[in-house]
Chain A
């Protein structure tokens, strides 16, 4: 099963993401800031690495940007994609996320299907990606 680490200081957002991603059939773990997330990554058994990180930007102790930079210095965990999810709607935040090395950027609140579809693509989970795209076309996508 795919392993996802959700990093966000807002418990409500963590719960929301856990629900969205968990319902898609993935295993979700949580960390409340970048520092704790790094610790989690380092203590993760090598045979169960995280396959995707869903990361907030503004967090106490260590923000999302720093987390990604630090993560990418870790030899064994660096390969998993990072999806930044933040309320910062300004384009410079998306650029800063890119500069830090994030593979994608979504604006919070991420619509459930948007989040799941992007996550599925980044994880290479074709079944979930199809299902999610189906659900969206049925719903008619909100602009």
Chain B
């Protein structure tokens, strides 16, 4: 069939993902408000849509799971089943699996053979809830999820040596997520410590990439192990990563032939027949449908008219034209209203076996137009609720547009140079002026265009917040803590890239709060706090920055322990540690390699600390601030740019060369008289606005052989930049204007060079090196 066209499949994948995302969100919402009928209906509808779509393709595994989910939700929606945490778990697990199947479908266009087994298990787990009566839970019914028939061996297990696969053993395939290291998981350790481990086979999940593309933070393992421990023990061992694990219990006897899956067969059945028979049979069915419709009491005039129209159309499709036109005339001559039409339609058999009875008094032509209904056809909200027309565009296309406009912004900068050349080189002053006029027009259009495209890329931060509900729920459960997640300002918008690069740091901060910050209910009660901890994630826009605040009301950071650790790890000298104030000591956690956790915890060990968070945030020109009050909680504040597509830089001159410095980092530019520069030993400082600012010569930092130049008035040009919480003055030769640039990171052999954020192509074709003062100073 031509139905599995790629276009339809793409649409299916896109829509399925949307549904799944919404389902995940709604499931968590419903947990908070299990009585909310609107929520439940929306949840049901999403799964319903998903199932309907699955039916268009032959994805049996997918349909099995989704169908079971739909049935459960239908019961809940109708109040015949009460929503509880175990149903929520089963649904979440089923939807996670569904999402993974969608990924497989996207990659391969089909589902591999083995997927139905897991699907059947999940569907069974869901359907298990259907058997429960609504009010009273069945007494003592705690049946385990054991399938009736042994499952056939999954494909992957066949790749294992035959002697491993002995009856009674459990075969496990564990494919850790690429991002598992960031979740504090240790796949190797987990696999090695599996109960009853007999064999362990490790291979890369995908072929190892070339050296320069190797990402040491991405897990790329496919672990297969054989255990002689009971299945339940193995399952318990992998309970934190069930979605990454597939296991198979080798049956005592050889597995029987795979039972055929119950197909959702269409209800209408037709016997194979020559086309005329088929056509007539279907025609008769539709005709009968119309008769039944007419026989209903209270049928509306509009429906009668529609039935009349349908019957007329059906007659057109009759084989026998003479009979058809005869019947047509008869139909046309009927009196209005359902009764005569019903009588006629009942007696007339379109397949030719019956005869129509012409009516006695033929009224003129067609039936009267149906009576105008007194009620207004439009519902009250019909006018205002006009749905916004939404166009879905793939991300690639937007990225391409963004790239093009980036090039355009740069290319338009060539015009001023051209104007200057026209004037100075060719003496065409008039032409130069015209070029400048044109430039200002193009400049304005380009800026508008850039702004408009950037708007397209703006996404609400709620998109990443959505994941947190699940994360907090799962982790707090795992840790035995009671945590309520409060999300504020999820509508705040920021550029897609900013939002995407935020996800990992945010998850890390949340994990820290859950793991180290928030206490268990007992500890909290003992400290006089409410048993339930609060984790607050708030977003708001301030000017052209987005502010994100993640705060908890947990135990706060133990500054004494932080000082101790920092000294122990040799990060700072002991005398300095003791002289730090508490707020200063808190900042030590940002030092690379810092981790206070004594035992590497299940969640946030692994040495991925706050320094990683800070680096990730600074990479997108953001800042992190940390505040913590012992016993009261911790607050992390992230300040981020709305967009990072275009960087505004100031051009400066040092050692006869031009460099760019990102405007985000620049505090001010000042001219300082040479006599106001103070020398202490080899360091130079000056006083600006009552504060001492250390000065560094940019040419020294870059290893250029020239001292900073004084201008005619004997002043030095000082560019004050912000480095973390400190200001530093860079001595340069001169300031030039600012420019919007597209920052390209250093690539290839230049990758390792420190001190530079990247390069930018200027309008005159030259390359401007963009400094990274943080690395320089």
Contact = CB atoms under 8 A, between A and B. Distances in A.
A125 to B, nearest CB: 8
B317 A126 contact: yes
Contact of B382 (A35, A140, A141): A35
B679 interface: no
A78 B279 contact: no
5 contacts: A74-B302, A81-B310, A106-B268, A136-B270, A141-B271
A73 B301 CA distance: 8
Contacts of A129: 279, 317
Contacts of B373: 73, 75
B387 A32 contact: yes
Most chain A CB neighbours (cut-off 10 Å) among B49, B276, B375, B379: B49
A73 B302 contact: yes
A39 to B, nearest CB: 7
B8 A15 contact: yes
| Chain B interface helix/strand/loop/mixed | helix
- Per CB-CB distance, the 5 closest pairs between chain A and chain B, nearest first, are A72-B302, A124-B313, A78-B302, A101-B303, A124-B316
B12 interface: yes
A11 B279 contact: no
B271 A79 contact: no
Contact of B289 (A33, A80, A103): A103
A37 B731 CA distance: 68
A112 B678 CA distance: 86
Contacts of A1: none
A122 B8 contact: no
B11 A124 contact: no
Contacts of B317: 120-121, 124-126, 129
Contacts of A111: 266
Interface in A110-143: 110-112, 114, 117-118, 120-126, 129-130, 133-134, 136-137, 140-143
B315 to A, nearest CB: 8
B312 A124 contact: yes
A109 B264 CA distance: 10
Contacts of B269: 143
B729 to A, nearest CB: 58
B485 to A, nearest CB: 27
B382 A87 contact: no
Interface string B97-125: 00000000000000000000000000000
A13 interface: yes
Nearest to A23: B2
Interface of A: 9-13, 15-16, 19, 32-33, 35-36, 38-39, 42, 56, 58-62, 69-75, 78-82, 86-87, 89, 98-99, 101-112, 114, 117-118, 120-126, 129-130, 133-134, 136-137, 140-143
A121 B285 CA distance: 11
Contacts of A78: 301-303, 305-306, 370
A118 B286 contact: yes
Contacts of B382: 35, 38-39
B372 interface: yes
Given A72-B370, A80-B309, 8 more contacts: A73-B375, A73-B377, A75-B372, A87-B52, A107-B268, A109-B52, A129-B279, A136-B275
A121 B283 contact: yes
Nearest to B305: A79
Given A36-B387, A70-B377, A13 B306 contact: no
Given A19-B5, A75-B372, A101-B300, A80 B306 contact: yes
B86 interface: no
Interface in B248-294: 264-276, 278-279, 282-283, 286, 289-290, 292-293
Contacts of A61: 385
A110 B301 CA distance: 29
Interface in B360-411: 369-370, 372-373, 375, 377-379, 382, 385-387
Given A38-B377, A70-B379, A137-B274, A121 B282 contact: yes
Nearest to B280: A133
Interface in B51-74: 51-53, 55-56
Interface of B: 1, 3, 5, 7-8, 11-12, 14-16, 42, 44-45, 48-49, 51-53, 55-56, 264-276, 278-279, 282-283, 286, 289-290, 292-293, 296, 299-303, 305-310, 312-317, 369-370, 372-373, 375, 377-379, 382, 385-387
Given A39-B386, A122-B313, A124-B317, A19 B8 contact: yes
A16 B302 contact: no
Contacts of A118: 282, 286
B3 to A, nearest CB: 7
A16 B299 contact: no
A37 to B, nearest CB: 11
Best-surrounded residue of A19, A58, A75 (most CB of chain B within 10 A): A75
Given A98-B292, A98-B293, A112-B3, A141 B11 contact: no
Contact of A137 (B272, B296, B303): B272
B310 A122 contact: yes
A74 B303 CA distance: 11
B9 to A, nearest CB: 9
A51 B385 CA distance: 26
A39 B389 CA distance: 13
A79 B15 contact: no
Contacts of B386: 39
Contact of B306 (A10, A79, A89, A130): A79
Given A87-B55, A112-B3, A130-B275, A72 B282 contact: no
Contacts of B273: 137, 141
Nearest to A81: B310
Contacts of A112: 1, 3
Contacts of A69: 300
A114 B1 CA distance: 14
A20 to B, nearest CB: 8
B55 A109 contact: yes
A82 B316 contact: no
A95 B265 CA distance: 20
Contacts of B8: 12, 15-16, 19
Contacts of B310: 81, 103, 122
B52 A107 contact: no
B348 to A, nearest CB: 16
B316 A122 contact: no
A59 B266 CA distance: 22
Contact of B275 (A38, A56, A72, A133): A133
B385 A101 contact: no
A35 B632 CA distance: 51
A108 B387 contact: no
Nearest to A131: B275
A35 B278 CA distance: 36
